[in-house]
């Protein structure tokens, strides 16, 4: 299944249909455990990006290009660093949230390498971070100033909390779960299923649907 996103001109793919060397490390639809012991289902629908040139020239919003939110290094599996590359569709929601933040602070907002989307098999992704959903960003500088003090990070964290009530900001600190050299903003475990995409196309779903029909409960959902 593949549909084209009209606004971005990027194909949207069901990662369950991708070749194994890509699908396996992306783990589409699998449950991932967080550091707190909660489980969340990983995204299944991704934008397909055919080249770095496409990443560089695709603007998600006025101030954020797709490349900024998919820049990874050797911590990511080799098969996921080759093009075409795949980014969860929810990255558009992240960019929209960052744009609101950018407009308020009125200065350039820089995202760190490995600080946008990371696959669940990325070596920095073991704790089930929203980065694996494409809904988190690590901001390392604003207006050319690095974010590395409690005062700066706290000030911009307060702006993010005020503007993005659905978001979460990592507290300042040096221990696990804290940050002392960037501002982590995330939207939680949001996934996006674009219009024109069907979520029920694998064999298990087909069998379940047939079961529902034979027991007369099809379409009856409270």
- Residue 138 within binding range of Zn ion, rule CB under 5 A: yes
User: Does the footprint of Zn ion cover residue 184 (CB under 5 A)?
Assistant: yes
Neighbours of 37 (CB within 10 A): 7
Sign of the torsion formed by the C-alpha atoms of 98, 100, 105 and 106: positive
Cβ proximity to Zn ion: between 161 and 208 the closer is 161
By C-alpha distance, which of 118, 186, 174, 115 is closest to 148?
Answer: 174
93 part of the interface to Zn ion, by CB under 5 A: no
In the complex with Zn ion, the residue whose CB is nearer, 10 or 160, is 160
Smallest Cα–Cα separation from 158: which of 169, 173, 146, 143?
169
**Would you count residue 118 as binding Zn ion (CB under 5 A)?**
no
Binding segment toward Zn ion, per CB under 5 A, in 73-81, 131-139, 202-210, 212-220: 131-139
Stretch that binds Zn ion, among 31-39, 84-92, 128-136, 139-147 (CB under 5 A): 128-136
Strands (E), 89-198: 109-111, 136-142, 145-146, 168-169, 183-186
**CB closer to Zn ion out of 3 and 168:** 168
∠ CA 198-191-189, rounded to 5°: 150
CB of 1 to Zn ion, least distance (A): 31
The residues that touch Zn ion, with contacts defined as CB under 5 A, are 136, 138, 184
């Amino acid at each position: 299944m593949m549909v084209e996103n009209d606004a971005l001109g990027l194909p949207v793919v069901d990662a369950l249909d991708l070749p194994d060397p890509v699908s396996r490390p992306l783990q589409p639809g699998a449950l991932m455990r967080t550091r707190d012991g909660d489980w969340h289902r990983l995204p299944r629908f991704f934008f397909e990006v055919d080249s770095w040139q496409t990443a560089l020239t695709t603007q998600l919003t006025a101030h954020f290009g797709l490349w900024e939110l998919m820049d990874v290094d050797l911590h990511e599996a080799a098969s996921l660093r080759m093009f075409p590359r795949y980014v969860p569709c929810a990255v558009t929601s992240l960019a929209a949230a960052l744009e609101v933040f950018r407009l308020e602070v009125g200065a350039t907002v820089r995202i760190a390498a490995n600080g946008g989307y990371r696959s669940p098999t990325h070596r920095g992704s073991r704790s089930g971070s929203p980065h694996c959903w494409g809904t988190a960003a690590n901001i390392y500088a604003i207006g050319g100033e690095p974010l590395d003090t409690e005062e700066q990070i706290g000030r911009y964290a307060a702006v993010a909390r005020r503007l993005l009530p659905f978001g979460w900001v990592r507290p300042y600190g040096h221990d696990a779960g804290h940050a002392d050299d960037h501002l982590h903003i995330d939207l939680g475990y949001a996934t996006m299923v674009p219009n024109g995409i069907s979520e029920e196309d694998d064999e298990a779903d087909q069998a379940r649907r047939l079961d529902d029909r034979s027991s007369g409960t099809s379409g009856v959902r409270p």
